[in-house]
Structure 1
Amino acid sequence: MKLVQLSRTEHGHLRINPALALSVAANVHLVPLTLSEIRTVASQFPVFLAKDGETGQFYPCALMGLEPHENLYWTGSALDADHIPLNLLRLPFFIGGADPAQAAICLDEHSPGVDANGPCAILEPDGSDTGYITTIHGILDRLAAGKAPTRGFVERVVGLGLARETKLDVRFDNGTGAVLNGLYAIDETALGRQVAAVTDFDDVMVLAAMALSLAHVGGLVRRKNRRIEADAQWLGAAA
């Protein structure tokens, strides 16, 4: 990865292939979420809290694989999902700078999405922003604006003791299995005890969506079984 500040002069001629930019998701099993998108994303993916390895802070995330660096929704050319998290939709662009007031849009110049034959231009021939880059601006604005509300939500959840550490121990049809640690699910029992303390109705809806989203873990197991079977058939055909 090589992040550089986006410049109309230096990068205005570039074209972007969003599908190729998204290909880095093939090796991502956890995708950070903002508060505003949790309810939508939870309709398709399991949503947990996880801890940032550097800061120790909790953050909400969508689970897309049952092992590190595995994305079971990645088909090889696209993400098999109706709702794609903002942190994937923005690729290959990032928010740069530690100070939100001084934040700048950055581009990963090494992204496979930077493609001379890509369908999306950054600038129109007259030098104005294209619809594509305007959409990217909107996504990055939502991510930046969502940091404080998301942090506040997580602090409320943790402060009320509504998150419990969960170990995912799953078995596959071929007899193998996977164990995933470090995830925190919404504790429905604790939520029942503390429901009067959750005074924001939006928080209640998000917590309910997160709790119900755990049913999608079964879908991940089915996807893994299909991938294992496809790999076995491919190896058998190659033998």
Structure 2
Amino acid sequence: MKGTIAMAEMELLDSARHAALRVSTTPDRARHFVQLVADEFLSAALHYPILFARHPDTGDLYPGALMGLVPDENLCLGASGKLAGYRPADLERQGFYVSGENIAIDRSHPALVSQEGDAVFDQDGDPAPALRRVQVALRTLHRGLPDTEEFIARLETHQLVEPIDLSFQFDNGESLRLDALYTISLDALHALPDDVVLSLFRSGGLQLIYAQTGSVRHIPFLARRRNDRLSGLVA
């Protein structure tokens, strides 16, 4: 999962040592593409376009929620500076990592360096709601990555993934084109043999495919939001 750091830079989370630790959602503002696992598709598709990108090191496809059209831009934040809809697990776990049977933290991560945000532990040293959300997110990612990789492998086996053309023209004259993003081809899906489609249906893959392809309807919202931002109509 993107964001892994060397163990030497991490500390094991400890309720006594980190009693005053707080976790902030501020880093969400700079996340324009957030990695997802397949179990998140149905929730994320209600709010964001789900597209595929390739890992720069391996070239492997991975799915993500598109939240902005340029790096360090999140167009999905509400007036409070927080996401109004589903918050993906990879955002919930920012600064937190799995280390064997324990949770480790990167004290230098922007989510953990602020005095603002939600407490990680309550007054009794037990996990506060923020930490419980982190625990759920880490489990979601840990359990979901293998299933997601298998789902993508099936998409590629049946040649269902294709590049998506994303070009925008804004009122201030700015032109923007997003490359190296991919979607699922419904034409290719509908051309598959019946037995393959039935297999995708029984495995749950067909539901994920329609969630992903339906989610692209949110792309015009991102374009309108960026256009309003460039025009000074929104912050």
TM-score when normalising by structure 1: 0.83
CA distance in 2, matches of 1:178, 1:63: 15
Seq. identity, %:
27
CA distance in 1, matches of 2:17, 2:57: 32
Q: Residue 30 of structure 2 aligns with which residue?
A: 27
CA distance in 2, matches of 1:6, 1:41: 30
User: Is 1:8 the counterpart of 2:14 in the alignment?
Assistant: yes
User: Does the C-alpha gap of structure 1 residues 195 and 176 become closer, same or farther in structure 2, counting only changes over 3 Å?
Assistant: farther
Conserved in 1, the CA contact under 8 Å of 2:50 and 2:216? yes
CA distance in 2, matches of 1:165, 1:45: 18
CA distance in 2, matches of 1:66, 1:83: 19
User: How many residue pairs were aligned?
Assistant: 224
Output one character per residue of 1:59-98: Cα deviation in whole Å (capped at 9) or x when no partner. Answer: 01111111223211235852343111111122231235xx
Tell me, which stretches of 5 or more residues in structure 1 are unaligned?
A: 97-101, 235-239
User: Is 1:141 the counterpart of 2:143 in the alignment?
Assistant: no
Structure 1 residue runs of 4 or more that deviate by more than 6 Å after TM superposition: none
Query: Which secondary structure does the structure 2 equivalent of 1:61 belong to?
Result: strand
Conserved in 2, the CA contact under 8 Å of 1:94 and 1:106? yes
- Map of 1:31-70 to 2, 5 A cutoff? 31-70=34-73
Tell me, which stretches of 5 or more residues in structure 2 are unaligned?
A: none
Conserved in 2, the CA contact under 8 Å of 1:15 and 1:117? no
CA distance in 2, matches of 1:94, 1:22: 16
User: Is 1:95 the counterpart of 2:98 in the alignment?
Assistant: yes
TM-score when normalising by structure 2: 0.84
Question: RMSD between aligned alpha carbons?
Answer: 2.5
- Map of 1:47-196 to 2, 5 A cutoff? 47-74=50-77, 78-96=81-99, 102=100, 104-114=102-112, 115-116=114-115, 118-122=117-121, 124-125=123-124, 127-194=125-192, 196=194
Shift of 1:154: 0.7
CA distance in 1, matches of 2:127, 2:10: 19
Query: Which secondary structure does the structure 1 equivalent of 2:232 belong to?
Result: helix
User: Does the C-alpha gap of structure 1 residues 68 and 117 become closer, same or farther in structure 2, counting only changes over 3 Å?
Assistant: closer
Conserved in 1, the CA contact under 8 Å of 2:27 and 2:111? no
Which of 214, 224, 227 in structure 2 is aligned with 1:225?
227
CA distance in 1, matches of 2:154, 2:79: 38
CA distance in 2, matches of 1:134, 1:61: 23
